[in-house]
A and B are shown apart, each in its own frame.
Chain A
Amino acid sequence: MTERANQRLALKLAGVAVGMFGFGYALVPLYEVVCEYTGLGGRTGIVTAAEAAALDVNRGREVVVEFDTNINGTLPWSFTSLQRRITVHPGQVTEVYFVAENTSDRSVVGQAVPSVAPAKAAPYFNKTECFCFTQQTLAAGERRKMPVRFVVGADLPPGVNTVTLSYTFFEAPGAVAEIAPAARDNQGS
């Protein structure tokens, strides 16, 4: 009798262990949700162009937006922004340009990852267009000017007067071999 009870309990506890293994993986989407909600990790928001255009512009408040560009690891690109900083009003849709250049002799796929500091401003920093929404493929030696359209929400917490938008370009994982030729063809057409 004890032996059966032991086995039953052991199975239940093993079930808990398996469940906790699943919980570890469940932390991944859970973390996404928390980041979205709190701006943790500098996640920016996305709005449609129509929504952005409909916002009231608060001309009485000025916010400085700074741009920061980085290249990760061995990506053979140069990457800068045309403006270093601009002053905007909350609710005002603004367009800025970034320039990436492939300095190598091969086609490379890059993925830009944005981050906004301070984190508490991140949920109020909304983009309607960004080169980071998709992977960018640059042929050897190709230079590309890329727009970002953004709007700072009118409900940006008071006390935040400077917001930094930072991009880091990574070599897109696993994308080089398959996507690059197709993308080059598209550009040729």
Chain B
Amino acid sequence: MSEAVMHGHEHHDHHPTGWKRWLFTTNHKDIGTLYMLFSLVMFFVGGAMAMVIRAELLHPGLQYVDTQFFNSMTTLHALVMIFGVVMPGTVGFANWLIPMMIGAPDMALPRMNNWSFWILPFAFTLLLVTLFVPGGGPAGGWTMYPPLMLQTGDAMPFVIFAVHFLGASSIMGSINIIATIFNMRAPGMSFMRLPLFVWTWLITSFLLIATIPVLAGAVTMLLTDKYFGTSFFNAAGGGDPVLFQHVFWFFGHPEVYILILPAFGIVSQILPTFSRKPLFGYESMVYATASIAFLSFFVWAHHMFTVGMPLAGELFFMYATMSIAVPTGVKVFNWVSTMWRGSLTFETPMLFAISFVVLFSIGGFSGLMLGITPADFQYHDTYFVVAHFHYVLVTGAIFAMMAGVYYWLPKWTGHMYDETLGQWHFWLSTISVNVLFFPQHFLGLAGMPRRIPDYAVQFAEWNFISSIGGFVFGLSQLLFLYIIVKCIRGGEKATDRVWEGAHGLEWTLSSPPPYHTFVTPPQVTDATAHS
């Protein structure tokens, strides 16, 4: 650790100020903040699109937008929420927390860290500008299936290059995280002493490096099919559109774990704190996370049971899918056991974390239902699928991120957030999100297809209720924004430990932590490890 590193620090202490500080920063805390703010902005962009969707679906018939634009909204809503909110948001947590949790002075490759973030605004400019090009935005669904996707107008290359940029950003971020965790741990911080959030991100990073390039390949094939005369997916030239689905979901299924594993990590930090007990079954949590990641490479075709597959294939992918329920079940039971006979208190982060456990499990169960091949033939491409993935992504990933924001915001800003408003935000969100998504199960079982701007009248009541839930949920998030801004600008001074039950290196630092932390690595012992 050496001079190079020390020298770097002296240099950073005179960091530029104003906007140049943010543009040129290589500090993990600054970059973490940038990621989090970017994610927050995109949350409202993607949320506004969701409001358009729910407004159009409030009543049967076509009211407010034309059908092409509606399809662009569903497509872009998904791309923005996945690549603009959940992924950058969790990377933001990783940037802020991993160095502080493992006793490192910064990320391993700080300059690359700067690039990984600053690619994002360009990528999203490319993606969102498609709304204004001839032919409109991409409207073939976020899964970009050919041949429909190949009918996209001028937006197509924009979308594909945006995906390339987003992928490059994620891969660079992942390389950085792995290098940090492998090489920058403080003395005594062995792998089995890593906080679980660090573990989940280590595994997620490997998933990203293994799968994002496959997505990049798939969209490049789409690009050459449309503009350079190749026939990867064009049947006339000997290609097969179903091939795209295989390649896409080879990326796509690990991707859903990329979205949820860091959320698992966040919740695994929060539940022990407010239960005032160590995490139950730490080792099994690590192994379960690794098992989920490993299995995620062998289940992709459960997204495409209906394309026509040999019976052996359908059985294999069904059983492989079911088997993921085992390590996931281990995690859920460990969370419950962590709370069992704990001294529980219900501050906002804990409320969101408990809500995560309950509602994510509901999403997990509907996922099991979808994993049953014969049943999937009824559920496929209906609102049941929409309900399922919104339970695992909104009440799963997003709720965990909200829990994490409330949990670490005092550490990051040095101020306590407004607990009363936080509780209001929690209850408004939790009630409205269920009003929003639970009826979609019924709609899907009754046969309402996803990605349609209009529907048969028998679906009117549940859609109306769902839309009302959607509007309330959307408005509730303005409260979230207000709470965050208020907390950044001031508030009751937070203590270093913030929560009496909090354990781990980040809580040994002041709130907010100094610009450079752990320049001298701390010595980690059993007593200070694990939260």
Contact = CB atoms under 8 A, between A and B. Distances in A.
Interface in A1-39: 1-3, 5-7, 9-10, 13-14, 16-25, 27-28, 31, 35, 38-39
A2 B183 contact: yes
Interface string B1-41: 11011000000000000000000000000000000000000
B514 interface: no
B174 to A, nearest CB: 7
11 contacts: A2-B1, A5-B183, A6-B183, A10-B112, A13-B174, A17-B213, A19-B213, A20-B214, A24-B216, A38-B313, A173-B237
Contacts of B232: 28
Interface string B172-205: 0011101100111000000000000000000000
B229 A174 contact: yes
A44 interface: no
A67 interface: no
A163 to B, nearest CB: 15
B516 interface: no
B147 to A, nearest CB: 9
B134 interface: no
Interface residues of A, number: 39
Interface string A40-70: 1100000000000000000000000000000
Contact of B214 (A2, A24, A72): A24
Contacts of A10: 108-109, 112, 175-176, 179
Nearest to A111: B236
Given A9-B178, A113-B235, A40 B310 contact: yes
Nearest to B248: A24
A17 B171 contact: yes
Given A13-B209, A24-B216, 11 more contacts: A5-B183, A6-B109, A6-B183, A6-B184, A9-B178, A17-B175, A19-B213, A24-B213, A27-B250, A111-B236, A172-B237
B242 interface: yes
A3 to B, nearest CB: 5
Interface of B: 1-2, 4-5, 108-109, 112, 171, 174-176, 178-179, 182-184, 209-218, 221, 229, 231-232, 234-238, 240, 242-243, 246-247, 250, 308-310, 313
Interface of A: 1-3, 5-7, 9-10, 13-14, 16-25, 27-28, 31, 35, 38-41, 72, 111, 113, 119-120, 168, 170-174
B209 A31 contact: no
B109 A21 contact: no
A111 B237 contact: yes
Could you tell me the dominant secondary structure of chain A's interface residues? helix
Contact of B210 (A20, A25, A72): A20
A6 B246 contact: no
Given A6-B108, A9-B178, A27-B247, A21 B214 contact: yes
Contacts of A41: 240, 242, 308
A175 to B, nearest CB: 9
Contacts of B175: 9-10, 13-14, 17
Contact of B218 (A5, A14, A24, A113): A24
Nearest to A20: B213
Contacts of B216: 21, 24
A173 B231 contact: yes
